[in-house]
Structure 1
Amino acid sequence: MAGTPSFEGAGDPRYLPISEHGLIGDLRSVALVGTDGTIDWYCCPAFDAPSVFASILDAERGGRFEVAAIGPARTKQFYFPDTNVLITRFFTEDGVGEVQDFMPVDGASAETERHRLIRRVLCVRGSVPFRVLVAPRFDYGAQPHTLRLDGEMAVFESEKLTLALTATLPLEADGLDVRADFKLSEGESAVFALDQVGPGVAPRGCAHTEAERQFTSTVAYWRRWLSQSRYRGRWREMVHRSALTLKLLTYAPTGAIVAAATTSLPEQLGGERNWDYRYVWVRDAAFCVYSLLRLGFADEAEAFMKFVTDHVTPGESHASGPLQIMYGIDGRTDLPECELAHLEGHRGSAPVRVGNAAADQLQLDIYGALLDSIYLYDKWARPISSDHWDDVCAIVDWVCAHWDQPDEGVWETRGGRKNFLYSRLMCWVAIERAIRMANRRGLPADLNRWREARDTIYRRIMSKGWSESRRAFVQHEGGDVLDAALLMMPLTKFIAPTDPKWLSTLDALTHDLVSDSLVYRYDPQASPDGLRGDEGTFSICSFWYVEALVHAGRVDEARLAFEKMLTYANHVGLYAEEIGQTGEQQGNFPQAFTHLALISAAFNLDRALG
């Protein structure tokens, strides 16, 4: 596979690498906090709202919230144990300071419109001088704002959003920004709170006592939530960090689970593979349900099922059939894609995109992912309702009638539709899981038609998806290109994990697409996808590879590959979508797909090791 070429923006000191960030959130939105103490990504009041801070996408025009020690300092970052409260530490010549970053969340519904972000600055040893700069740039840096400053409160007002910054020390205006320079001695602290304000939500200070109370209640919330986990295996810390990350990517008001926290972080520096992932991919969210159910988080699975029944139901016909491949976090179906030409992109990687035109693609695999999650929910959590079963039947009937057509495939290629094997495989899964549910619960169904379609798909895959010359199953009919999505064949129970045809395919995938423990999705040179440039290895595929090795009985190889994959996590256990040639993280960050696959791989590897 081709490596990542050099790019003039790669060493730009104005940008932290993607991996040099932690994530905080309040189950409605999130913020990225760099290891230098800067919040360089924050959308308010929701995941897919326009950004307030976006210097990760444009260092000059994006906006940022800096908190840093003045003068030379080493920094380290970690999560307060078993929580999503992030600590950034500054080690200076005269002392040690830290910033505690969190968004208050305690499970209560009071003041849900405040959307508070708290930054508590402390000196824990000696004395440390700090500087703070709050420079919002509303609507992705396109909307002007005014500043009103009154001592320890600053109000930033734009046409559609107003934010109030309150502090426990005086603030100074710097044009339309706000700054504060101060020195703390051991035991002293300062608090900065950024609130959305408007009708019914007035600016409110955040005194030291309130910051302490909200810190304590937020820590208690995350620990109470995590205590539901049933995982007791070897990789508890990484599995629980992945679970906490998936929870952060959940939009509590609807139960939606977004694919990632960001938009347009590049899959290759200087490339055009920059997409908006702040939406609900049916596929990604359905796989999340599996991982969360495995760990014992039934409430999240139930919330997503409610999102499905409320929004992801067959009815009006979309370009992708009775369901879209993705939805807004509020269930909306209109996600127009546009480019923000005024932003230069992360390290100059343009374009920056908002919205996602792939919403109009036909991706047949989503039906299998959704039906598999419904099947598991019905089996492990709570039986689905009769109305929900009617929706399932409508979806399966549509799949039976439409599985035999080309589509854009799981990787959302923009190079034309093909008869992708993975799409066929997941259509088989959709029908097969529905048959299981009907038989287990005695539910009404056109079983004869369903079985005939299921068996026809199986025979089609075994005949036209197999390449004698490659001795492997291939990406699409009539081709000889391999595809890492085929790793799902034994994981979905389509084929026995020790079937000679599958073992031969696994060897071929290992030879063509695996680099160390890392797995490429496919070779874009051999299988053009309509886009320029290369990409890194795809982290979910690397964890699928671990599972495939486990099921094939190659447990020692699987464990080594898994342990190697863990070394590619960032300093707080988070993964972006891809990993580049030299181990750098690429693409949107953090990505739900990767973390849910880590959970599944750890669970199955633990079980195999006994």
Structure 2
Amino acid sequence: MAGTPRFEPTGDGRYLPISEHGLIGDLRSVALVGTDGTIDWYCCSEFDAPSVFASILDADRGGRFELAAIGPARTKQFYFPDTNVLITRFYTADGVGEVQDFMPVDDGPAESDRHRLIRRVVCVRGALPFRVRVAPRFEYGAVPHTLRMAGDMAVFESEKLTLALTATVPLETDGPDARADFKLSEGESVVFALDRVGGAVDPRGCAATEAERQFTATVAYWRRWLAQSRYRGRWREMVHRSALTLKLLTYAPTGAIVAAATTSLPEQIGGERNWDYRYVWVRDAAFCVYALLRLGFSSEAEAFMKFLDRHVTTCDGGPSGPLQIMYGIDGRSDLTERELPHLEGHRGSAPVRVGNAAAGQLQLDIYGALIDSVYLYDKWARPISSDQWDDVCALVEWVCAHWDQPDEGIWETRGGRKNFLYSRLMCWVAIERAIRIANRRGLPADLNRWRESRDSIYRRIMSRGWSRTRQAFVQHEDGDVLDAAVLMMPLAKFIAPTDPKWLSTLDALTRELVSDSLVYRYDPQASPDGLRGDEGTFSICSFWYVEALVHAGRLDEARLAFEKMLTYANHVGLYAEEISSTGEQQGNFPQAFTHLALISAAFNLDRALG
């Protein structure tokens, strides 16, 4: 993409920068493919399963699947148009070759447990040699495995998982790894297929004809899916890439949507802000529903509603309320956090964590995000059922009784609970959207109590969330710290986007938290969050900022800020959670929150521009 920055490995040359990756997947798991042709992140057979390849977290012990031209080569990576099939092209003095990476997604239920990963190598011009090395390291590199050859197949066996690698060139063993060198001339190709085997899944080769069939079927699947999009605006390529990315982060068996594809990619190189994002955040998934509904993808919204119905049960209210803030992709609530000390972390950024202790936090804003998504689903997709309405009523009643508690807030701070304005705002959204549903559908509700609670929250925010000193709405009650989360106030229709108090707040945020259109979520020095180190700008906040400018009528500023944000995407249009001061991607990658915010900003800016 024109204008996109390119970064060479810095510091430790064993690691590609986070941004130097594309993503493939089969709606059950994903793999990151580096621009050097190496798969350095892959979990089989689910998003949150232990890794098989994790050299992005430890170049020596994590495991990898290398496939590249031998000798000096320039590389270029791109997606096959309108698909999640990734192409990594190698340009050498003697020819041009490419690796086509994809995971079949439409091969029927009998094949879904195979989790096949196909790497097809094609020489498109001249002739050039390639080298492949497959070095799995099971259970995050902590469990040994054996390797045996069975004809043209290499079988990697560990205690809990067996993988079979088939190839259309001879494979050799090299200790626990499989390798091969081969040379291709123009028009020739080689296929490598990695399958999970065992149980009802028998080993099966992947001949060139089968690889071609599965390539064609996978391309057709993604194009059929994307054809449902109703977006015809100015930024079609980036919006559709974001939609395809959100779909890749969907777990088809349950309808869950994970927050990101990875764990422990650092928010600051060498820092401790390294978290596991391979779970279903109620907030993130609910916002995804909004973004996908905007584009016309109602089946994904329906699948997430079914996930809530089948896998998420409300309780009377523990430390985190009737809902946890996040769940496993199968709906499980136990996400115990632990560290993996044997892994050094990306470029030495330890600790590496799996699980997430924030699951036990109280974050009141999730109720607003969830009920807003239910409201939009009921309005744009399908009327909710009576049972679903009963669940909404139970949540609203809980919010009415508990909205004025301190909590950890949207940013999951680990420095103690506070009376965060954003949490109050989204409690207001929860009640207000439920009132809308009840009025529109004529559904039973204690409207007098709901209205009273809604109005109490409004008055509380306006009196204690407004700082006369800063002339701005601030992070928490009776404070003076600015927080980009308040950008949601006009977006959630809490305050008019041209209200003088809001315009004053927008100006204050622009002065203190915005840097060349990029937005910091808050100043951790002014508002300690219980963690060491700094962080980059938060990309979702940058897109919220665009929307706030749109609603304020500052369209020229909004368009410039949006176009600048697009230049910070990586070479295939993907975003991590944050952007560093040097413009490099930081944090887990790619992040659903960022891509859904891009869709929303593009949609609203496009509509405002006419």
Which amino acid in structure 1 is aligned with residue 312 of structure 2? Answer: V
The reply on whether 1:191 has 2:183 as its aligned counterpart is no
TM-fit CA distance, 1:10 = 4.6
Cα distance between partner residues in 2 of 1:571 and 1:362: 37
Deviations 1:221-242 (A, max 9, x none): 0000000000000000000000
Q: Match of 1:309?
A: 309
Hey, what's the Cα distance between the residues in 1 that align with 2:422 and 2:444? 28
1:517-536 pair list within 5 angstroms: 517-536=517-536
Which residue number in structure 2 is paired with residue 41 of structure 1?
Answer: 41
Question: The residue matched to 2:511 in structure 1 has which SS?
Answer: helix
Secondary structure of 2:109's aligned partner: coil
RMSD over aligned Cα atoms: 0.8
For 2:393 and 2:26, the matched residues in 1 are separated by: 36
Q: Secondary structure at the match of 2:67?
A: strand
State the alpha-carbon separation in 1 of the partners of residues 25 and 96 from structure 2: 26
**Pairing 1:454–2:469 present:** no
Residue 25 of structure 2 aligns with an amino acid whose one-letter code is G
Is the Cα–Cα contact under 8 Å of residues 318 and 324 in structure 1 kept in the other structure? no
Using the size of structure 1 for normalisation, the TM-score is 0.98
- 1:309 CA drift (Å): 1.3
Report the alpha carbon displacement of residue 105 of structure 1 after superposing the two structures with TM.
1.0
Return closer, same or farther for 1:472/1:139 CA change in 2, 3 Å cut-off. Answer: same
Q: What is the aligned partner in structure 2 of residue 142 from structure 1?
A: 142
2:73: which partner in 1? 73
Matched letter for residue 114 of structure 1? R
Q: Distance in 1 between matches of 2:405 and 2:508?
A: 27
Deviations 1:171-210 (A, max 9, x none): 0000010000000000000000000001110110000000
Shift of 1:389: 0.3
The aligned counterpart of 2:266 is: 266
In the other structure, the counterpart of 2:6 is none
Q: Which residue of 2 aligns with 1:5?
A: none
**Alpha-carbon distance in structure 2 between the residues aligned to 1:249 and 1:333:** 19
Matched-pair contact (CA < 8 Å) for 1:151–1:171:
no
Residue in structure 2 matched with residue 131 of structure 1 by the alignment? 131
Q: Name the structure 1 match of 2:224.
A: 224
State the partner residue of 1:177: 177
Q: How many Å apart are 1:372 and its aligned residue?
A: 0.2
Deviation for aligned residue 1:446: 0.5
- 2:87 is aligned to 87
CA positional deviation for 1:316: 5.1
Specify the SS of the correspondent of 1:40.
strand
SS at match of 1:160: coil
1:507 matched to which residue of 2? 507
Matched-pair identity in %: 88
Where does the alignment leave 5 or more consecutive residues of structure 1 unmatched? 1-8
5 Å-filtered alignment, 1:393-404, equals 393-404=393-404
Instruction: Give SS of 2:224's match.
Output: helix
Name the residue aligned to 2:579: 579
Matched residue SS, 1:405? coil
Consecutive unaligned residues in structure 2, runs of 5 or more: 1-8
Aligned-partner residue type, residue 546 of structure 2: V
Amino acid at match of 2:536: G
Partner of 1:300: 300
Q: Deviations over 1:230-261 (max 9, x none)?
A: 00000000000000000000000000000000
Distance 2:510 2:558 in 1: 12
Q: Which residue of 1 aligns with 2:424?
A: 424
Partner of residue 484, structure 2 = 484
Instruction: Work out whether residues 546 and 561 of structure 1, in 8 Å CA contact, stay in contact via their aligned partners in 2.
Output: yes
Within-5 A mapping of 1:67-466? 67-106=67-106, 108-315=108-315, 317-466=317-466
TM-superposed deviation, 1:274: 0.1
What's the CA shift string for 1:404-454, capped at 9, x where partnerless?
110000000000000000000000000000000000000000000000000
Q: 2: CA distance between counterparts of 1:386 and 1:10?
A: 56
What amino acid is aligned across from residue 160 of structure 2 in structure 1? K
Moved over 3 A (4+): none
Q: How many residues align?
A: 602
Q: Deviations over 1:111-154 (max 9, x none)?
A: 22100000000100000100000000000000100001134200
Question: Once the 2 structures are TM-superposed, how far is the Cα of residue 312 of structure 1 from its aligned partner?
Answer: 2.7
Offset of residue 106 of structure 1:
1.6
Q: Deviations over 1:452-508 (max 9, x none)?
A: 000000000000000000000000012100000000000000000000000000000
Contact 1:495 1:502 in 2 (8 A): yes
**What is the TM-score normalised by the length of structure 2?**
0.98
Q: What is aligned with 1:543? A: 543
- Equivalent residue, structure 1, for 2:497: 497
State the alpha-carbon separation in 2 of the partners of residues 374 and 313 from structure 1: 16
Summarize the Cα distance change of 1:192–1:316 in structure 2 as closer, same or farther, 3 Å threshold.
farther
Residues 406 and 568 of structure 1, relative CA distance in 2, 3 Å threshold: same
What's 1:3 paired with?
none
